[in-house]
Amino acid sequence: MFGRLAATRLPEIRQIFRQAPPQTSRSFSTALNYHIDTPDNNSELPWEFSNANKDKVKEILSHYPSNYKQSAVIPLLDLAQQQHGGWLPVSAMNAVAKVIGVAPIRVYEVATFYSMFNRQPVGKYHLLVCGTTPCMIRGSREIEDALLKHLGVKRNEVTKDGLFSVGEMECMGCCVNAPMITVADYSNGSEGYTYNYFEDVTPKRVVEIVEALRKGEKPPHGTQNPNRIRCGPEGGNTTLHGEPKPPPCRDLDAC
Amino acid sequence: MGLGVLASRATRLSGRGNPSRSLFYVRTIVTKPELQSPEASSAAAAPEPTPDLPPRTPLGGARVHFPNPDDAIEVFVDGYPVKIPKGMTVLQACEVAGVDIPRFCYHNRLSIAGNCRMCLVEVEKSPKPVASCAMPALPGMKIKTDTPIAKKAREGVMEFLLMNHPLDCPICDQGGECDLQDQSMAFGSDRGRFTEVKRSVVDKNLGPLVKTVMTRCIQCTRCVRFATEIAGVQDLGMLGRGSGEEIGTYVEKLMTSELSGNVIDICPVGALTSKPFAFKARNWELKGTETIDVTDAVGSNIRIDSRGPEVMRILPRLNEDINEEWISDKTRFFYDGLKRQRLNDPMIRGADGRFKVVSWRDALAVVAEVLHQAKAKEVVGVAGKLSDAESMMALKDFLNRMGTNNVWCEGNGPNPNADLRSGYIMNTGISGLEKADTFLLVGTQPRVEAAMVNARIRKTVRATNAKVGYIGPPTDFNYDHQHLGTGPETLLQIAEGRHPFCSEISNAKNPAIIVGAGVFEREDKDAIFAAVDTIVKKYGNVVRPDWNGFNVLLLNAAQAAALDLGLVPESSESIETAKFVYLMGADDINLDKIPNDAFVVYQGHHGDRSVYRANVILPASAFSEKEGTYENTEGCPQQTLPAVPTVGDARDDWKIIRALSEVAGVRLPYDTVSGIRSRIRTVAPNLLSLEEREQATFAASLKPEVKQKISSTPFKAAVENFYMTDPITRASKIMAQCSALLAKK
Amino acid sequence: MATTLVKGTVQAIKEKGLRGFLGMLKEEGILNCIFDGKLLQTKLHTIGARLVGVDKFGNKYYENLEDTQYGRHRWVEYADKARYNASQVPPEWHGWLHYITDHTGDELLMLKPKRYGVEHKENLSGEGDEYIYHSKGHALNPGQKDWTRYQSWQPTKAQ
C-alpha cells in the first residue's frame, strides 16, 4: 500500500516537503483563535458604548426576557463592531460581556465562531468577496485578484490609507446574480452603517466601485448588469408572463 | 469502559448458545464460597438463564433509583427489557441493562453536550442512528446496540475523530488509560483514508498543574463544562468553528481553581495531562493503593499510584458520599512533598546546638530519662494534624500512664469541647448537604478549608438555587452568596431575629448551618456556639428528627478522631509551664509558648517547623506508608493503607510510642494494630466501624449554660494559603509553585 | 561459475598487480570469508547479481531475479565485514530489503522530511555497558548515581 501510495503521490509529497506552504494569514474560515496583546488591542484599553449606542443597547436588550439577557450577544457584538470601525478589540467583547452579565469567555466563544465578527482591524470599506461554488464558477477568483491587485494588498490586509480591506465570505444567498461582493461601510460609524451587495460584478466593474467609494460616492447596489432587473433574467422574463395558475388541489368539498 | 468490557462482552456472546459454557465462565471468575461448595453451586445452577436472554447486570456505578414508582417505563435494550425511571437517557438505559456504550463527551456528572457522536445506537423506527446520550428514553423504545448500523456509525465517527488526532501515543502520557486509544481498538480501522495534512493547535498555558497538548484534543468540551459547572471558573471555552475549533481561554489566563486537576481525569484523550507527572511513568507500571487523603478533614478517597518505593501520582477514587469522583488540587499534587525534607534517623541535639544522628535505643533512652525527671504536671503531649487515631490513642494512654492528661490535638483550640459529639462533626453529612436549601456559613471559607465540601455546596446551589449566607472576612466564592457580616455580632443579630436573613432560615425546608473549625481557636468560642444553638432552637427546622442541619466543618484529618478519643487537655495553659513537650507531628502550634527550658521531643516525618525547636527527633512514617484510621469531618472513619515503604529508619507513630513506653517502664498493653484497635473499641467504638457514619446521639440542647460574653473581634480566615497547610504540603515544590502563581493575593 | 571466478581473478591480478589485488581482497572482505561462512555465502551469492544501490554507510544491496528462489532474491552485503548486524540497514532501505516495497532506498530517501528527523544509528546495545540503559539509581548510570528516592531533612540551621 505504501508502495502504491508512494508511486502515485511521490511528486506531491515531495512538493510538500520541498517548499513548506507559505503561512497564509487565514488558512481556515476564521482567523487566530487566541488573542495576542497589541497596543491597539488589549484588555487594559477602556471601551464603552457611545451615548447614542447606549440607547440602542437598551432597545436591543428589551427584545429579550430579562433572565435571558445573554441572547443579545450577537446584536450587541454587531453594534460594538459598527461603533469600533468594523472590528472588535478584546475590550469591546469584555464590555459586551458586562452588559449581558456573562463571563467574557462566553462572548469570545461567539465572536470567534462567526466569521462576520472581525477581531483584527479592517478598512473603512470592508470588501467581502463571495467564494462559494456558484460565485467561484462565475469568476469570483478573478474578482478577488482584481481587487487585491488594484488595492495592492493581500487578503485581510488593510490599505495604507486605512480605507479598504478585502476578505472572503461564504455564500450570501445571491447565487442567482453570481458573482457578487459585499461592501461593509464603517466610514460613518453605527449610524451610517451600510452593508450592501453588488451583484453581477466583473473585474472591471469592481475597480470602478472601489474608485467610486474612494471618492465618497455611493454607487448603486444590487445587480451591476444594466440589462437585468434585480434577479430577473437578462432581456425580460422568459416565464411567468401571465397570472400564475393556482397549485393543483383535490376537491376538498367532494370528500 | 474500554477493552475489558468489550472483551467480556465478546466472551459472553460466544457463550450465548451454550448455557453450561457460560456458567463455566462465571464459576471461574467469581470466587464466592457458596459457589465452591457443591450443593450451593448446584442450587445456583438450577434456575438456568434462558439462552436467548443472558442475565444482565447494571454496569458499575449505575444505580437505578425510582423517585416515583409510577414513572417507571420499560425499554428494550438488544431485546432485553429493563425498567427505568422516566427522563433517563437512552445511554443510561443501556447502562442499566449492562451494555456499555462508547462515549467521549458524555459524563454523568456534567451537562449533556452530544457533540462527539460516539454513542450512536440504532433505535427501531428511527430513520437514522441516534446519539444515545442526548436522547431521552421513551416507553417501549427498542434500542439496538450491536447491529451493523450502530457499529458502522461508530466506526465512521471514530475515523473522523482520528483524522486530526496525532499518532503520538508512544510519547503521550495518557497512553494506556486513554479512552480514544481503547475505543479505537474496538471501532478504529487499521488504516486511515485521510491523506491531507493534520491540523495543529497552539498549546495553552493553564498553570503549573495542567499540561496541554491541544493538537490531541477531540473537542468533547468536557473540560469546558467541568470548569463552568463544577469548578465554577468560567475561563475555558470553545473558540472558533469547524476544523479550526479549539479549546482555550482566548486571552492569556491561568486556570485558578482549586479543582483544576480534575480536568486531567475527565479528558478522554491526552490533551490535558498532569504537568508534574509528565513523562515520569507509564500507568501500567504503577501499583495502585486505595487509601484516603489527609490534607483536609474531608477524607477524600484516593488511589496512590506508586512505582517501587516512590509515590508517582494520586488519583481520586469514587465515593458518592464524600468526594464523588473529584479531588482538590492539593490532594492530587502534594505527593512530591512526601519525598522531600524527610526525617529518616533519630537525632539528638547536642550541647553545641547541633543535631547528631543516634540509634533508636539511645534516643528513646534519653527521652525516657528526661520524662522521668519532669513532674507529671509539666508533661504535655500534642498530636499533629495528620495523626491517625491509633497513634493518638497510644500517645494519650502513654502520657496518662506517666500521670498527666495534658494531651490534645492541634487545631482543636485550647479548650475543646469533646463531650457532645454532635458539637464537632458535620451532622448533615457531606452528601446530605445536597438536600439543604439554605446555608449559613459562620466563620468558614469552605473553598479553601474543604474544597470538596465547597464543591458539594456549589452543586446544591446550582441545582436548587439554594441561598447561602456567609459571616466572615471577605473571601472568594464560586457561587451566589450573601455576605452578611464579618463578625460575631451578625450572628447575634440572627440569633435575636433582627437580621433579614432570619426569614430565609425560617422559611427554609432544610436549613444547614456550617460553623468553621477556625472558631475553636477563639476565646469566645463557647459563646459563639451558644449563639448558634440559639439559632438552632429558635428556628425549629434546623434540627428535627429527620434533619440535622447543625454542622461543624473541621480543618484537619486528625481533629474528629482526637475529640472522639477525648484528647482534651486538663488545663488550657499547660504548655506555658511545661518542662517536657511531646510533639507528635505538631507543626502548627505556637512554638513561642513553649518555655525555653522545656525539653521538646518531635516525632514526625517532615523537618518542617517544630524540628528547629526540638531536642530529640524521632522519625515517623507518613500517611502513605502506614495503616491508620482517620475520621473525617462528618464522623466517617476510614483507613489508610501503606502504599510505599517508609524512609530510612522511620517507624509508625504508635510503634514509637509503644517502644518508648517500654523504655520508660510503663509498658502499653498492645503490640499490634489490632491490639490498639481493641483498646480504641473501649473508648470510641465508632472509629472501628469503617465507612459508617454513626449519628451523634445527644443533641446540642443538652449543653450547659454559657456565661461567656461574645467578643466583637471579626472572624479570621482559618486557612491562609490553600496550597500549604501541613508539613507535607509545605515541603512540596509543586504546592510552592501553586501558591506563588495561583493563590489570590 | 567457477571458470568466471578464475577468469575474473586472473584479470584483476593483471590489472592491479598482486599487491593491489591482495589489498582489494582485504577491502572486499574476501580474507574474512575464510573464517566467516556467512560472509562467504553472501560473496558467492553475489556473483551474477544486480547491484541495486549502495546506502550512505556503504552497505550494498543486491537483487537476483534469475536463478534465486523468489523471496530470497534481495540481500545486503554489509560495509563492515568484521562486525555486522541488521540494525546497520537504514530505514529507507529496510522496506526494499524486506519486500515491503519495490521502491529502492534511494527513491524513498526523497520522501524523508528535511526539516526534522534524525540520522539513522545502528543499535549498539550488545556492544558494551555504556550503550545499555540503566535506570536511575543504578550503579552503572553515571549521571544519576546520586539519585535517592527521597531527600532527607538536613539539620543545617541549628537554632
Say if C108 is an interface residue toward chain A (CB within 8 Å).
yes
**Distance between CA atoms of B376 and B373, rounded to whole angstroms?**
9
pLDDT in tens, B384-405: 999 999 999 999 999 999 999 9
CB contact under 8 A, A13 and C111: yes
Asked if residue A101 has pLDDT above 90, the reply is yes
Asked if residue B48 has pLDDT above 70, the reply is no
Backbone φ and ψ for B356, nearest 5 degrees, come out as -125, 135
Q: What is the pLDDT of residue B41?
A: 41
Report how far apart, in Å, the C-alpha atoms of C22 and of each of A125, C5, C12, C66, C77 are. 84, 16, 10, 31, 20
- Select from C97, C99, C111 the residue whose CB has the most chain A CBs within 10 Å, as the one to mutate to test that interface: C111
Same domain, residue pair B204 and B150: no
Chain C residue nearest residue A9, CA to CA: C111
**Distance between CA atoms of B468 and B501, rounded to whole angstroms?**
10
Q: Is residue B56 part of a domain?
A: no
Q: What is the pLDDT of residue A251?
A: 77
> Would you list which residues of chain A are within 8 Å, Cβ to Cβ, of chain B?
1, 5, 9, 16, 28-30, 33-35, 37, 43, 90, 102-106, 108-109, 112-115
Interface contacts A/C by beta carbons within 8 Å? 24
List subunits contacting chain B, requiring 3 or more Cβ pairs under 8 Å.
A, C
CB contact under 8 A, A6 and C102: no
Candidates A34, A106, A115; nearest CB to B234: A106
- Provide, for chain A, the percentages of residues in helix, strand and coil under a 3-state DSSP scheme, each rounded to the nearest 5: 40, 10, 50
Asked if residue A4 has pLDDT above 70, the reply is no
Q: Residue B148, preceding bond cis, omega within 30 degrees?
A: no
Rg, C-alpha atoms of chain A: 23
**Distance between CA atoms of A43 and B34, rounded to whole angstroms?**
69
> Residues of B with CB below 8 A from A102's CB?
234
Name the fold adopted by A125-223. Glutaredoxin (3.40.30)
Q: Which residue has the higher pLDDT, A5 or B454?
A: B454
Tell me: is residue A171 an annotated ligand-binding position.
yes
Task: List the 192-231 stretch of B: residues with Cβ below 8 A of A.
Answer: 195, 197, 202, 204
- Residue B400's domain comprises 341-719
**Distance between CA atoms of B208 and B206, rounded to whole angstroms?**
7
CA distance B455 to chain A (A): 20
CB contact under 8 A, B355 and C158: yes
Nearest to B312 by CA among B294, B339, B292: B339
Number of independent structural domains in chain B: 3
Element (H, E) at B637: strand B637-640
Same domain, residue pair B158 and B188: no
> Residues of A with CB below 8 A from B250's CB?
33-35, 90, 104-105, 108, 112
**Distance between CA atoms of A185 and A82, rounded to whole angstroms?**
9
CB contact under 8 A, C155 and B611: yes
Report how far apart, in Å, the C-alpha atoms of B5 and of each of B2, B100, B177, B674, C25 are. 6, 7, 14, 39, 64
Q: What is the pLDDT of residue C2?
A: 64
Same domain, residue pair B501 and B441: yes
Asked if residue A17 has pLDDT above 70, the reply is no
CB contact under 8 A, B250 and A33: yes
List subunits contacting chain A, requiring 3 or more Cβ pairs under 8 Å.
B, C
Q: What is the pLDDT of residue C29?
A: 75
CATH for B477: 3.40.50.740
Candidates A37, A43, A105; nearest CB to B237: A105
ipTM value for the complex:
0.84
Listed in sequence order, the residues at least 6 apart from B2 whose beta carbon sits closer than 8 Å to its beta carbon are B179, B182, B183
> Residues of A with CB below 8 A from C102's CB?
3
> The C-alpha cell of B8 is what?
467480556
If pLDDT is split at 50, 70 and 90, which confidence band does A10 have?
A: low
> The C-alpha cell of B11 is what?
466472551
> Under the phi-then-psi rule, with left for phi > 0, alpha for psi from -120 to 50, and beta for the rest, what region is B401?
alpha
Asked if residue B72 has pLDDT above 70, the reply is yes
Q: What is the pLDDT of residue A76?
A: 96
Mean pLDDT, range A74-94, rounded to an integer: 94
User: Any idea which residue has 395558475 for its cell?
Assistant: A245
Amino acid (one-letter) located at C74? R
* Share of residues in chain B with pLDDT > 90 (%): 68
Instruction: Confirm if B308 and B287 have CB atoms less than 8 A apart.
Output: no
Say if C103 is an interface residue toward chain A (CB within 8 Å).
yes
> The C-alpha cell of B502 is what?
432570619
Give the number of other Cβ atoms within 10 Å of residue B254's Cβ: 17
Please give the sequence-ordered ranges of beta strands (E in DSSP) within B174-252, or none if there are none.
Answer: 210-212, 237-239, 246-248
Element (H, E) at B40: helix B38-45
Say if C157 is an interface residue toward chain B (CB within 8 Å).
yes
> The C-alpha cell of C89 is what?
540497514
- Select from B223, B234, B241 the residue whose CB has the most chain A CBs within 10 Å, as the one to mutate to test that interface: B241
> Residues of A with CB below 8 A from C115's CB?
17, 20
Listed in sequence order, the residues at least 6 apart from A46 whose beta carbon sits closer than 8 Å to its beta carbon are A91
Instruction: Confirm if B638 and B293 have CB atoms less than 8 A apart.
Output: no
Q: What is the pLDDT of residue C82?
A: 84
Nearest to B137 by CA among B99, B61, B68, B84: B84
Q: What is the pLDDT of residue A8?
A: 60
Same domain, residue pair B663 and B586: yes
Asked if residue B10 has pLDDT above 50, the reply is no
CB contact under 8 A, A106 and B244: no
> The C-alpha cell of B99 is what?
451494555
CB contact under 8 A, C150 and B344: yes
> Residues of B with CB below 8 A from C157's CB?
612
Same domain, residue pair B156 and B222: no
Same domain, residue pair B458 and B552: yes
Q: Which residue has the higher pLDDT, B201 or C8?
A: B201
Same domain, residue pair B388 and B458: yes
Amino acid (one-letter) located at A111? A
**Distance between CA atoms of B734 and C2, rounded to whole angstroms?**
76
Give the number of other Cβ atoms within 10 Å of residue B541's Cβ: 16
Q: What is the pLDDT of residue A232?
A: 87
> Residues of C with CB below 8 A from B341's CB?
151-153
Same domain, residue pair B148 and B213: no
If pLDDT is split at 50, 70 and 90, which confidence band does B34 have?
A: very low
Positive or negative: CA dihedral B662, B664, B669, B673: negative
CA distance A7 to chain C (A): 8
Q: Is residue B70 part of a domain?
A: yes
Interface contacts B/C by beta carbons within 8 Å? 44
Q: Out of A95-99, B51-55, B583-587, pick the least confident.
A: B51-55
Same domain, residue pair B535 and B597: yes
What single-letter DSSP state applies at residue B306? E
For residue C50, what are the β-bridge partners?
C63
pLDDT in tens, B358-388: 999 999 999 999 999 999 889 999 999 999 9
**Distance between CA atoms of B118 and B130, rounded to whole angstroms?**
10
Q: What is the mean pLDDT of chain B?
A: 88
**Distance between CA atoms of B599 and B613, rounded to whole angstroms?**
9
DSSP code string of B491-512: HHHHHTT-STHHHHHHH-SSEE
User: Any idea which residue has 449492562 for its cell?
Assistant: B98
Mean pLDDT, range A168-176, rounded to an integer: 90
Q: What is the pLDDT of residue A2?
A: 53
Q: What is the pLDDT of residue B61?
A: 56
Chain C residue nearest residue A3, CA to CA: C101
- Compute the half-sphere exposure of residue B499: CA atoms within 13 Å on the CB side of its CA: 23
> The C-alpha cell of C93 is what?
532501505
Tell me: is residue A174 an annotated ligand-binding position.
no
Nearest to C101 by CA among A9, B191, A4, A3: A3
Q: What is the pLDDT of residue B457?
A: 95
For residue B248, what are the β-bridge partners?
B237
Candidates A28, A30, A109; nearest CB to B237: A109
> The C-alpha cell of B65 is what?
433509583
Nearest to B101 by CA among B144, B136, B141, B70: B144
Report how far apart, in Å, the C-alpha atoms of B260 and of each of A11, A162, B210, B293, B719 are. 48, 44, 8, 17, 19
Q: Which residue has the higher pLDDT, B180 or B6?
A: B180
> Residues of C with CB below 8 A from B338's CB?
150
Mean pLDDT, range A221-244, rounded to an integer: 87
Q: Is residue B314 part of a domain?
A: no
Nearest to B329 by CA among B278, B232, B256: B256
If pLDDT is split at 50, 70 and 90, which confidence band does B308 have?
A: confident
CB contact under 8 A, C149 and B339: yes
Rg, C-alpha atoms of chain B: 29
**Distance between CA atoms of B347 and B650, rounded to whole angstroms?**
11
CB contact under 8 A, C149 and B338: no
Q: What is the pLDDT of residue A11?
A: 57
Q: Is residue B638 part of a domain?
A: yes
CA distance A232 to chain B (A): 35
CB contact under 8 A, A90 and B250: yes
Asked if residue B1 has pLDDT above 50, the reply is no
Amino acid (one-letter) located at A255? C
Q: Out of B463-477, B493-507, B632-646, B694-708, pick the least confident.
A: B694-708
Asked if residue B586 has pLDDT above 50, the reply is yes
- Select from B189, B198, B203, B239 the residue whose CB has the most chain A CBs within 10 Å, as the one to mutate to test that interface: B239
Asked if residue B66 has pLDDT above 90, the reply is no
Please give the sequence-ordered ranges of beta strands (E in DSSP) within chain A, or none if there are none.
Answer: 125-130, 164-169, 180-185, 194-199, 222-223
**How is chain A split into domains, by residue range?**
40-119, 125-223
Instruction: Confirm if B356 and B368 have CB atoms less than 8 A apart.
Output: no
Chain A residue nearest residue C114, CA to CA: A17
Element (H, E) at B268: none
Asked if residue B35 has pLDDT above 70, the reply is no
If pLDDT is split at 50, 70 and 90, which confidence band does B160 have?
A: very high
Tell me: is residue A135 an annotated ligand-binding position.
yes
pLDDT in tens, B223-281: 999 999 999 999 999 999 888 899 999 998 888 899 999 999 999 999 999 999 999 99
Nearest to B398 by CA among B614, B660, B674: B660
CA distance A103 to chain B (A): 6
Helix (H, G, I), strand (E, B) or coil at B291: strand
pTM: 0.82
Q: What is the pLDDT of residue B62?
A: 59
CATH for B217: 3.30.70.20
Q: Is residue B740 part of a domain?
A: no
Q: What is the mean pLDDT of chain A?
A: 86
DSSP code string of C100-130: S-SS-HHHHGGGS-SSS--------TTS-GG
Chain C residue nearest residue B335, CA to CA: C150
- The CATH superfamily label for domain A40-119 reads NADH-quinone oxidoreductase subunit E (1.10.10.1590)
Say if C114 is an interface residue toward chain A (CB within 8 Å).
yes
Asked if residue B598 has pLDDT above 50, the reply is yes
Nearest to B90 by CA among B133, B139, B151, B153: B133
How far from each other are the two terminal CA atoms of chain B, in whole angstroms?
A: 42
CA distance A101 to chain C (A): 48
What single-letter DSSP state applies at residue C72? S
Asked if residue C1 has pLDDT above 80, the reply is no
Mean pLDDT, range B552-559, rounded to an integer: 94
pLDDT in tens, B453-505: 999 999 999 999 999 999 999 998 999 999 999 999 999 999 988 899 999 99
CB contact under 8 A, B342 and C159: no
With both helix axes pointing from N to C terminus, report the angle between A51-61 and A90-100 in degrees, rounded to the nearest 10: 50
User: Any idea which residue has 551474477 for its cell?
Assistant: C48
Q: Is residue B289 part of a domain?
A: no
Tell me: is residue A231 an annotated ligand-binding position.
no
Q: What is the pLDDT of residue C59?
A: 94
CB contact under 8 A, C150 and B353: no
Element (H, E) at C17: helix C2-28
Asked if residue B304 has pLDDT above 60, the reply is yes
If pLDDT is split at 50, 70 and 90, which confidence band does B669 have?
A: very high
Mean pLDDT, range B309-333, rounded to an integer: 93
Same domain, residue pair B144 and B73: yes
Same domain, residue pair B513 and B550: yes
Mean pLDDT, range B643-658, rounded to an integer: 94
Q: Is residue B406 part of a domain?
A: yes
Asked if residue B45 has pLDDT above 70, the reply is no
Same domain, residue pair B112 and B240: no
CA distance A28 to chain C (A): 24
pLDDT in tens, B506-536: 999 999 999 999 999 888 888 999 899 889 8
Instruction: Confirm if B411 and B555 have CB atoms less than 8 A apart.
Output: yes
